[in-house]
């Protein structure tokens, strides 16, 4: 009797080996292991036909498993590699996607160390092993979509890093963003990931919001253009791009985040023109395969439970044809936060009926799958809808080629493809292009390397590096701090000293923003030490701002001054009479009014990538001529918020309107949208607009000459703004409708061309229909939204 189990085990093992050998055929894979090529296994068949055939063979259990995320190792999944116990888990019938699998994430909240993230080839082989389990050990063999984050480089151990998205937005460089997208996609595919959660298309209209750092800025046109290029770049490499966060996510009441993230005060017209605009454009022009639904509500409807958002808008109006994944816990919030569902199961039903395809949460997938199965058994959801939701997921998997090539075919190639020389050069270029020069009184910058013998580097961000590593990007890349960057650059040619000056925040911050406390003896001593060192220096480089604990997800602020004692440090340094250069490392606009008035030079570096120290010092000394432009307005005070671009007529006159007779408010931007200085100068000329008169469906061609009139090679961003002079409804005073980043040698002139399409002229009329109304329009060319250089009118006729 004891021999029988052994005999059975041998027979089963033999059968498994035979099965493994038999399912892989030349040109096709026998996923359902029935010994014949089914329609869904035939690569020559149309995708929709393959989807229908596969659905017809699937059980309810298998279909519902395609509607949930399994979070990867250390988040939810407990094992790095498949184990026999997986046969007892809900994913024995498959799973939609496994998120952030074996990526070796570094995070305060959910770090996930693993032995399989590096070398890169080891990760690719590990993903193959997991994929192999799903193909060979589940009945239908449906491959997994391996998802991951990637908003400033792939969220993987040692992948190529980019500046934070607010820095990417500051480059205004569409071609470079496309290249960055290709790098993200190429690295993802080499490592075994098939779907990347990028770009973020949220429109940052409230500078207090913590996630400003993760966005491309405040302007929907700029965001649409940059997001389109990132999406196209990723998907050109055969990897899905998933847009987030759909929709109206970025303006929660009061800019609050974390446990709040609700109640955006957005009018219907603004919803379409401002917050849906980037999604519509990117969906229709780049055809992303994924969209992530957001936590928030709008007009009483939580988005993740809204048929209007997830079906009517996304699929019927915008033509989206991929699958919708929820943000983590967004489904559960229908019950626990929004209270539009009276039970967790009802929340599942509402999200499912609304159009959600895949639920994500930091819980086991059965917490969604089992309620879904119960709903079907009770007749509360139909097979037709279940097939539709499942079919969307399967369609994406077919489009990604997972049913034809489910594995990384050359795992060793990952070691050559990930973070290679091309990618490193691209990341370095993007960091350089993201630098924005805010002030340069008397041309203090660039600094003269040969003339400077003593440098003080001070400020709480001078030796900090955590800003280069975030929750949604690469980890474990070596970071060059600003202090180290300056030391490396100067070598033995100068003495470079460091004095911290102060901490990023004081002991009672953020309360100290509203109830000031005196400096402690230790704080005063630290500032005094920096001042003493400054007096011995030829130049002071003060590195101030925020770190990852002061800005980011769930880190919205109520004030936007430099945190803690940093202003007091700057004031003490400025009082020495030595030239002070202020370098800002931060994730959102800061109200640096005193600093702007008195400090002679200010460089905005945002949250740069690991090359931060190198790039910042190259910029300060002129090896890199800053050409970035602000993608978001810097207000003078939080009391002005909302203060941004574009704006409606009369809503934020830069210097106060005709009725501003009183001295009661601070007016105007500290730095306007599109602003940024250079070490050279540029001149605009020869603006041509043709035809001068056009019908409502015609294109308008615009050209303008730009000349570098200075002594240094540099980039300028030519910004095209469009003003509709009269319209049937109130529209934005004027708005961005074109831009090109142009590199120019001294004395060089180039002609920049733009085409204005009907969509660029369209507004929502009184009946909320997009239309191009006849009338006069003004083309405006500028170097910022306020610094308009040239104007020319044209007319649209019936």
Please give the positions annotated as active site.
327
**Residue count (the chain):** 798
Strand ranges in 608-734 using DSSP code E only, listed in sequence order? 634-635, 669-671, 682-690, 693-695, 700-708, 714-724
Cβ pair 482, 616 in contact under 8 A: yes
CA angle 419, 156, 310 (to 5 degrees): 120
Cβ pair 207, 588 in contact under 8 A: yes
Block residue for tokens 């967004």: 330
- For residue 414, what is the enclosing H or E element? helix 414-417
Task: Compute the radius of gyration of the chain from its Cα atoms.
Answer: 28
Q: In the beta sheet, which residues pair with residue 688?
A: 703
Cβ pair 356, 331 in contact under 8 A: yes
φ, ψ of residue 596 to 5 degrees: the values are -65, -30
CA distance 128 to 60: 27
Strand 24-25 and strand 28-29: the pairing is antiparallel
CA distance 156 to 149: 9
- For residue 442, what is the enclosing H or E element? none
CA distance 603 to 545: 11
Cβ pair 406, 135 in contact under 8 A: yes
Which among 780, 635, 736, 605 has a CA at the least distance from the CA of 224? 736
CA distance 583 to 501: 14
Block residue for tokens 């800061």: 590
| Separation of first and last alpha carbons in the chain | 92
CA distance 644 to 786: 12
CA distance 552 to 530: 29
CA distance 76 to 101: 10
684's tokens:
């605009």
Q: Where are the alpha helices (DSSP H) in 748-788?
A: 758-761
Cβ pair 194, 402 in contact under 8 A: yes
- For residue 244, what is the enclosing H or E element? strand 240-246
- Taking residue 483's Cβ as centre, other Cβ atoms within 10 Å add up to 24
Q: How far is CA 34 from CA 37, 139, 367, 401, in A?
A: 8, 10, 31, 21
Cβ pair 83, 93 in contact under 8 A: no
CA distance 381 to 367: 17
């Amino acid at each position: 009797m004891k021999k029988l189990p052994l005999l059975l085990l041998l027979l089963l093992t033999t059968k498994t080996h035979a099965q493994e050998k038999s399912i892989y055929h030349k040109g096709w894979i026998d996923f359902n292991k029935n010994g014949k090529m089914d329609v869904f296994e035939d690569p020559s068949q149309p995708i929709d036909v393959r989807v229908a055939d596969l659905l017809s063979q699937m059980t309810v259990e298998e279909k519902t498993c395609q509607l949930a995320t399994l979070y990867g190792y250390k988040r939810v999944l407990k094992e790095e590699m498949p184990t026999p116990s997986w046969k007892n888990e809900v994913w024995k019938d498959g799973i939609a996607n496994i998120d952030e699998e074996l990526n070796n994430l570094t995070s305060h909240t959910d770090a996930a160390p693993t032995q399989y993230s590096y070398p890169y080839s080891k990760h690719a082989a590990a993903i193959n092993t997991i994929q192999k389990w799903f193909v060979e050990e589940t009945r239908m063999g449906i491959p997994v979509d391996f998802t991951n984050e990637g908003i400033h480089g792939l969220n993987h151990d040692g992948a190529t890093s980019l500046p934070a998205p607010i820095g990417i937005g500051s480059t205004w460089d569409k071609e470079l963003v496309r290249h960055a997208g290709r790098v993200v996609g190429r690295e993802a595919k080499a490592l075994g990931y098939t779907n990347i959660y990028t770009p973020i298309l949220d429109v940052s209209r409230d500078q207090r919001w913590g996630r400003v750092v993760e966005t491309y800025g405040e302007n929907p046109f700029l965001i649409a253009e940059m997001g389109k290029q990132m999406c196209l770049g990723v998907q050109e490499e055969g990897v899905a791009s998933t847009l987030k966060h759909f929709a109206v996510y970025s303006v929660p009441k009061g800019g609050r985040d974390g446990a709040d993230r609700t109640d955006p005060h957005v009018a219907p017209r603004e919803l379409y023109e401002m917050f849906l605009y980037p999604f519509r454009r990117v969906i229709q022009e780049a055809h992303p395969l994924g969209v992530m639904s957001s936590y928030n509500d709008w007009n009483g409807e939580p988005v993740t439970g809204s048929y209007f958002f997830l079906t009517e808008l996304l699929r019927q109006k915008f033509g989206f044809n991929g699958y919708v994944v929820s943000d983590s816990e967004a489904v559960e919030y229908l019950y626990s936060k929004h209270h539009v569902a009276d039970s967790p199961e009802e929340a599942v039903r509402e999200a499912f009926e609304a159009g959600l395809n895949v639920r994500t949460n930091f819980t086991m997938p059965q917490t969604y799958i089992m309620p879904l199965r119960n709903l079907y058994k009770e007749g509360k959801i139909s097979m037709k809808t279940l097939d539709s939701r499942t079919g969307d997921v399967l369609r994406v998997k077919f489009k990604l080629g997972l049913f034809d090539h489910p594995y990384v075919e050359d795992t060793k190639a990952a070691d050559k493809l990930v973070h290679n020389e091309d990618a490193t050069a691209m990341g370095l270029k993007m960091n350089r292009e993201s630098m924005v020069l805010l002030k340069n009184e008397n041309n203090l910058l660039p600094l003269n390397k040969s003339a400077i013998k003593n440098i003080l580097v001070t400020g709480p961000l001078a030796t900090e590096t955590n800003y280069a590593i975030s929750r949604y990007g690469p980890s474990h890349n070596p970071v060059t701090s600003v202090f180290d960057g300056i030391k490396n650059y100067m070598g033995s040619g100068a003495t470079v000293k460091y004095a911290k000056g102060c901490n990023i925040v004081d002991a009672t911050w953020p309360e100290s923003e509203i109830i000031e406390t005196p400096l402690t003896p230790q704080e005063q001593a630290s500032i005094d030490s920096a001042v003493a060192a400054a007096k011995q220096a030829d130049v002071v480089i003060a590195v101030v701002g925020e770190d990852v604990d002061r800005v980011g997800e769930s880190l919205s602020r109520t004030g936007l001054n430099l945190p803690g004692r940093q202003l007091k440090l700057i004031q003490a340094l400025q009082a020495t009479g030595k030239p002070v250069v202020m370098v800002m490392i931060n994730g959102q606009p800061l109200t640096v009014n005193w600093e702007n008035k008195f400090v002679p030079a200010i460089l905005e570096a945002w949250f740069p990538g690991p090359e931060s120290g190198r790039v910042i010092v190259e910029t300060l000394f002129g090896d890199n001529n800053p050409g970035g432009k602000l993608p978001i307005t810097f207000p003078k005070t939080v009391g002005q918020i909302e203060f941004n671009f574009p704006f409606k007529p009369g809503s934020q006159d830069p210097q106060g309107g005709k009725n501003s007779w009183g001295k009661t408010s601070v007016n105007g931007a500290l730095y306007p949208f599109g602003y940024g200085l250079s070490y050279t100068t540029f001149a605009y000329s020869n603006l041509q607009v043709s035809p001068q008169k056009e019908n409502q469906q015609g294109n308008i061609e615009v050209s303008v000459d730009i000349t570098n009139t200075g002594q240094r090679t540099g980039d300028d961003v030519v910004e095209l703004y469009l003003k509709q002079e009269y319209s049937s409804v109130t529209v934005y005073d004027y708005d961005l409708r074109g831009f090109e980043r142009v590199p120019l040698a001294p004395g060089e002139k180039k002609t920049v061309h733009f085409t204005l399409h009907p969509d660029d002229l369209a507004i929502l009329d009184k009946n909320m229909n997009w239309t191009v109304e006849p009338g006069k329009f003004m083309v405006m060319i500028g170097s910022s939204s306020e610094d308009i250089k040239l104007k020319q009118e044209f007319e649209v006729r019936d």
